[in-house]
Amino acid sequence: MDKIIVIGGGIAGLAAGIYARKEGFECEIYERHSIVGGQCTGWNRNGFHIDNCVHWMTGTSPEKEIYKVWEDVGALGDGIEIIQHDKFLTVEQDGKKLHVWKDVNRLEKELLAFAPEDSKEIKHFCKMLRAFSHMEVPALKPKEQMGFMGNMRYVKKILPVLPYAAKYNSVPITEYIKRFKNKMVQDLILSYLPSSFNTVGILYMYGTFLSGNGALPKGGSIGIATRMRKKFLSLGGTILTNKTITQITEKEGKITSALCSDGQEIAGNHFIFACDSDTTYQIVGKQHMDEFFAKRYSDSDTYPTFSSFNVYLSCDKKAEELTNMVLFKCKPIDILGGMHDTIAIKSFDYEPTFAPEGKSVLQIMILQDEKDFDNWETLHKTKAEYDAAKQTIANDIIERIYTQYPSLQGSLQVIEVVTPYSYNKLLGTYKGAYMSFITTHKTKREVHSGRIQGLSNAYIAGQWTLPPGGLPNAVVSGKFAIQRIIQDLQK
């Protein structure tokens, strides 16, 4: 049987490997880091667990087609508990609270009582959320294999969304919120994602949560990655870690081998690049970059990315009021010259093993853009200054938390700080981005062909091929790569 070489052992690479083995291919995954999982990972510090990734995983509802993919790769399924919170987030301001409840009727009722002046817009917003709960991540086949009937089936499923998608795709979220007079309602809609998202991006995210299709598998990010790793190994796949692929050799429009930084030459019949797409084109050469990526990498105004500055704190007591994401306004924090007045904080108390008994681990996230990434990258050249900046900002954050939650005074310690540059350094992630290109009001929803032009046995998977990325797009892109190989072999 043919041998598939997968470059990158994130969620996309693991999914590609699992489907490759299920189809009977020999398969080896080469991963530059010491463990697989990519951005979907977690690690332990001082007796606490740091969960890097999952706040919501699209595909937790068995009614949606992507659920089957998560089941196939072992991330979801029998015996894996799904944690479904009753609210997605809370916005706190001046002692007042607003929530994004999972129950849309409860959300509507709360918003109407809080901001009667916006009742018409609130009703319309909630009506749109109900429609967006029908949204699906197409997961059965890659776009070019769906055929007329497949496309029609998909369109039928998302029919309620279509009128709103057509209308609001080109509306920036910053414009949309101006329809609301109440500032706190505006913040509830705006604060979680970067403000460059279009309105559809926000509706899609909240709609997914309301439908029960965006919950949390027990065990968090590392649990997802570990189960997928085990699945791949149990199917007879091979994982090689601490292996950075740097080059390829090609002959007559085909890759003959991939070269590892330690000098190993890896031969195979098919090569799936499931590493960051920017890294992919560094490996195969820019001459193989197609229009889809060329336009994205050359126009970051139209196709921006985002990341975040994350601080993890241990808390000497339970911080139950922070179990879901809470966003609060604070005295601005200076992050390398950028001023930030909103803190997103959450505790992982729903995962009792993440902290010692009676204690909590807290995650604080502050959004960062590409300019912030550049600043972190530059600062890292002077490591002592980079480390000092991380510590200073973490201390500022603790001070703002104490102001907001006086009951926590004296109970917090910094256990980890992750900058946008951390992702680039560890995983090679372009601009430290933690999803893919943002869907702005200027962009259409486009998907990549999954192929590398000029190299007939090379395929590309990963979140970058299906903007705006995230776990669901990563996992299906791995599956699609195998479906493309099978299709090519049948030609």
Ligand X SMILES: Cc1cc2nc3c(=O)[nH]c(=O)nc-3n(C[C@H](O)[C@H](O)[C@H](O)COP(=O)(O)OP(=O)(O)OC[C@H]3O[C@@H](n4cnc5c(N)ncnc54)[C@H](O)[C@@H]3O)c2cc1C
Residue with Cβ nearer ligand X (242 or 353): 242
Q: Which is nearer to ligand X, 293 or 434 (CB)?
A: 434
Site string for ligand X, 49-68 (x = CB under 6 A): ---xxxxxxx----------
Binding span for ligand X by CB under 6 A among 33-41, 263-271, 384-392, 446-454: 33-41
CB of 51 to ligand X, least distance (A): 9
Site for ligand X (CB under 6 A): which residue of 226, 314, 440, 463?
Answer: 463
For residue 98, state whether it binds ligand X (rule: CB under 6 A). no
Q: Would you count residue 271 as binding ligand X (CB under 6 A)?
A: no
Interface residue with ligand X among 5, 9, 375, 417 (CB under 6 A) is 9
Q: Which stretch binds ligand X (CB under 6 A): 7-15, 19-27, 122-130, 482-490?
A: 7-15
Indicate whether 140 belongs to the interface with ligand X (CB under 6 A): no
**Is 30 a residue that touches ligand X (CB under 6 A)?**
yes
Q: Is 139 in the site for ligand X (CB under 6 A)?
A: no
Among 6, 10, 107, 482, binds ligand X (CB under 6 A): 10
Is 258:240 a contact under the CB 8 Å cutoff?
A: no
Applying CB under 6 A, the site for ligand X has a residue count of 41
**Of 26-34, 195-203, 290-298, 404-412: span binding ligand X (CB under 6 A):** 26-34
Q: Report if residue 279 touches ligand X, rule: CB under 6 A.
A: yes
Complex with ligand X: residue 246 or 409, whichever CB lies closer: 246
- 324 contributes a contact to ligand X by CB under 6 A: no
Nearer to ligand X, 125 or 271 (CB): 271
Question: CB of 323: closest distance to ligand X in angstroms?
Answer: 16
Q: By the criterion CB under 6 A, which residues form the site for ligand X?
A: 7-13, 30-33, 38-40, 52-58, 244-245, 274-276, 279, 308, 310, 423, 427-429, 434-435, 462-463, 469-471, 474
